[in-house]
Chains A and B, each alone.
Chain A
Amino acid sequence: MAHSHHSTQVVSDGGVARLTVLDQPVAPEQFRYEVPKVRKIPFWTVAGAVFLAVAVGVLVTQRGTAAGTTLGVSFVSIILEALPFVILGSLVSGIIEVFVPKEAVAKLLPERKLLGILAAASLGLLVPVCECAVIPFTRRLVRKGVPFSTAVAYLLAGPTVNVLTGSSTLLAYHNPLAPSFAWHVLAARMGFAFFIAVAVALIIDRLFPGHSALLNPAMDGVEGACGCGHEHEHDHEHDHDHEHAHVQEHSHDNEHHEHHHHEHQEKKVKQLFGARLAEAINHAGDDFLGVGQFLVIGAFVAAVCQTIIPREAFVAVAHAPGVAIVVLMGLAVALNLCSGANAFVAASFRGALPLSAQMGFMLLGPMLDTKLSAMYLSFISKRAFVALMVLVYAFVFCSMMLWHYFGMMGGVR
């Protein structure tokens, strides 16, 4: 930043300012002063503290009441259901960080981006995980060089296009009094999820080339980048705990978050397997704590929605198909159900709302509900997140409207 004046000019250089007087530069040793560092409490820390105070306040005031119990049970349930997958995802992420070199990831990727996106959207068939597990280890893969658009295809399709979700959909829509399973529901769910994931990934690839969607695009391609998703302020503080490590102040929302980066290329030969394993697990622990806070925020908001929104009221307002689709999409975002379970809730709307609205509910939830939105914000920029959100919502809505009016031949309901 430069601040000009008639006769003097102050140019900041990190924390040190250089001064010129009447266009005559003054040697730094002659005139030098320190710009005082003003440490403000960052906005997100204040917001987090307010959230925490509200959540604790609700607990204290509502403890033992029927509403308080419903809120608490819903909140803890969402956390406990998601936790195994977040922890496992973090563990895989830590192992990838330490044991999988960037070159190996690059070798696995198809040369053509479209092929990569198609493969990523189908990956859930081989690795059946729910939406909570994909984020920690996908963000690590992105840091290892996987294009963001390819990651988006997996993030959106993976939780739905897999055997477990397919089975639960069939089970939820199975009428024991009917002669066969509801294969059309399964096919529609898998097909639409795949199509939407690929389409959104291709558009994201155009809008955010390379790793420009990430919170810290400068880390693109850095071997061993931590993937914490925080912007790094490179005022290194060299209080090394061991060789080749340095501590940085993270400035994600100006939060001064300690972290470390490793020169894995140099170290991996030297280090013992056990030490590297411990390092991988430490990374996993950090990832768990990093993603966990966003999961908590999303789960709490979802629990509040579960507590205050009467589902029957949704049915009452959703007369037109378009309204019904929007209403159930909104409900999917608010309820935060697991991809393995949301088909059962969707199926509870049978007879009351059209299948297109139920399908919108099943498609959108595992792609971008409240807790996932919070977790996405842990590693992609707000601009990229808004683009992703608009694209996903638009594609789900338009697909369901088209399906409702042109696709549901034979009056599928």
Chain B
Amino acid sequence: MSLGFSASRWRGLILFVWTAGLALLLGLGRYSLFIRPTLWPLVLCNVLILLLFLVAMIVRPIHGGSRRVTAAAWVRGGMMLLPLLYMSSLLSGAAASGLNSFALQKRSMGLGFGSDSQPMAADSDTTAINTNKPISLGYIMRHLQRLSGSRVITEGRVSTDDTLPAGEFVVYRFVIVCCAADALPVEAVVKSPKAAGLKSDDWIRVGGILRAQVKDGRSVPVIEADEVDPIAAPNDPYLSPVQF
């Protein structure tokens, strides 16, 4: 069954849309919504090789490319275009901030760090932190014992949780190694009178005294906040292991 389009043009169109889509993603810098920002050369590499495929197709057309596209080829082509369709739907609006509190619920292994079987050891890192500049949630989790009792400022997204007492919410970020599929959450409980006015997935800056509270054998970071301010969504919504 053919639907009036040549096989060669259909293949060319798929390659062109992929090339243009990835070039646009690169140009807008929105690749960091999906992959670790430092991996941008791979996206560039994709664009160049796909361009090469396209040029080779034009310079030396494939044999039989003038034949009509079959129903199967339409379906296969449609499948190839599906990721681009999804990608385009994620580049604006609330979706442009990436993984959200829904993903947090699915990926969280419970609040806190350490357990009965893996107690937190003493921290040998004695680097002083600047209490006027934000530090990452990952750093807070990693150096919780040392930082406990200090004033910290951090940034992240809000997760309101019915299981938390009134006046408390969770601030979270995701750490990614390669892409958002491997994202793991880092989170802290925030105690603030402003909790009631916040809604899930707002971006905020939190400042306050950090405490390490033990719940079910796990050390949970708790920030007794004296400031909670809304901020704009950052360009790079995720943390990298370096920032962890």
Interface residues of B in 2-54 (CB under 8 A from A): 7, 11, 14-15, 31, 33-35, 42-43, 45-46, 49-50, 52-54
Q: How large is the interface on B (under 10, 10 to 19, 20 to 34, 35 or more residues)?
A: 35 or more
Report yes or no: B76 in contact with A48, Cβ–Cβ below 8 A: yes
A contacts with B: majority SS: helix
Fill in one digit per residue for A110-143: 1 if any B CB lies within 8 Å of its CB, else 0: 0000000000000000000000000000000000
Fill in one digit per residue for A249-261: 1 if any B CB lies within 8 Å of its CB, else 0: 0000001111110
Chain A nearest Cβ from B121, distance in angstroms: 4
Report yes or no: B115 in contact with A59, Cβ–Cβ below 8 A: no
A58 nearest in chain B by CB position: B86
* Chain B residues with CB under 8 A of A59: 85-86, 89
* Chain A residues with CB under 8 A of B122: 177
Select which of A39, A56, A83, A241 is within 8 A of B63 by beta carbon: A241
Report yes or no: A84 in contact with B45, Cβ–Cβ below 8 A: yes
B contacts with A: majority SS: helix
Judged by a CB distance under 8 angstroms, whether B164 is at the interface is no
* Chain A residues with CB under 8 A of B11: 285, 289
Chain A nearest Cβ from B31, distance in angstroms: 7
| Bound-state Cα–Cα, A140 to B11, Å | 21
Tell me how many residues of A have a C-beta within 8 Å of chain B.
Answer: 95
Judged by a CB distance under 8 angstroms, whether B117 is at the interface is yes
Report yes or no: B65 in contact with A73, Cβ–Cβ below 8 A: no
Query: Which segment, of B94-102, B207-215, B221-229, faces chain A?
Result: B94-102
Q: A67-B102, A282-B56 are in contact. Are A345 and B1 (CB under 8 A)?
A: no
Report yes or no: A80 in contact with B101, Cβ–Cβ below 8 A: no
* Chain B residues with CB under 8 A of A284: 53
Report yes or no: B63 in contact with A289, Cβ–Cβ below 8 A: no
Q: A282-B60, A342-B182 are in contact. Are A75 and B86 (CB under 8 A)?
A: yes
Best-surrounded residue of B49, B86, B180 (most CB of chain A within 10 A):
B86
Report yes or no: A351 in contact with B178, Cβ–Cβ below 8 A: no
Interface residues of B in 60-115 (CB under 8 A from A): 60-67, 70-73, 75-76, 78-80, 82-83, 85-87, 89-90, 93-95, 98-103, 105-110, 114-115
Judged by a CB distance under 8 angstroms, whether B124 is at the interface is yes
Report yes or no: A177 in contact with B120, Cβ–Cβ below 8 A: yes
Report yes or no: B106 in contact with A70, Cβ–Cβ below 8 A: yes
* Chain A residues with CB under 8 A of B100: 66, 69-70
Query: Which segment, of A1-9, A12-20, A21-29, A298-306, faces chain B?
Result: A298-306
Judged by a CB distance under 8 angstroms, whether B241 is at the interface is yes
Select which of A74, A257, A275 is within 8 A of B180 by beta carbon: A74
Select which of A75, A247, A257 is within 8 A of B70 by beta carbon: A257
Report yes or no: A340 in contact with B72, Cβ–Cβ below 8 A: no
Judged by a CB distance under 8 angstroms, whether A41 is at the interface is yes
A46 nearest in chain B by CB position: B75
A241 nearest in chain B by CB position: B63
| Bound-state Cα–Cα, A63 to B125, Å | 45
Report yes or no: B67 in contact with A258, Cβ–Cβ below 8 A: yes
Report yes or no: A285 in contact with B82, Cβ–Cβ below 8 A: no
Report yes or no: A341 in contact with B177, Cβ–Cβ below 8 A: yes
Select which of A84, A275, A300 is within 8 A of B82 by beta carbon: A300
Chain B nearest Cβ from A162, distance in angstroms: 15
Judged by a CB distance under 8 angstroms, whether B181 is at the interface is yes
Report yes or no: A255 in contact with B72, Cβ–Cβ below 8 A: yes
Judged by a CB distance under 8 angstroms, whether B135 is at the interface is no
Interface residues of A in 144-190 (CB under 8 A from B): 168, 171, 175-178
Chain B nearest Cβ from A91, distance in angstroms: 6
Judged by a CB distance under 8 angstroms, whether B184 is at the interface is yes
Chain A nearest Cβ from B183, distance in angstroms: 8
Judged by a CB distance under 8 angstroms, whether B155 is at the interface is no
Judged by a CB distance under 8 angstroms, whether B179 is at the interface is yes
Supplied contacts A239-B67, A312-B108, 20 more A-B pairs, CB within 8 Å:
A45-B72, A52-B82, A66-B102, A73-B95, A74-B180, A77-B179, A80-B35, A247-B64, A257-B70, A278-B59, A282-B53, A285-B11, A292-B79, A292-B80, A303-B181, A306-B181, A311-B107, A344-B241, A348-B109, A349-B109
The 7 closest A-B pairs by CB, nearest first: A66-B102, A285-B53, A281-B56, A247-B64, A351-B115, A255-B72, A260-B63
What would 21 A/B residue contacts be, using CB atoms closer than 8 Å?
Answer: A56-B82, A66-B100, A66-B102, A76-B86, A77-B34, A77-B179, A81-B178, A84-B46, A177-B123, A241-B66, A245-B63, A247-B63, A255-B72, A258-B64, A281-B52, A281-B56, A282-B60, A285-B54, A296-B79, A338-B178, A352-B115
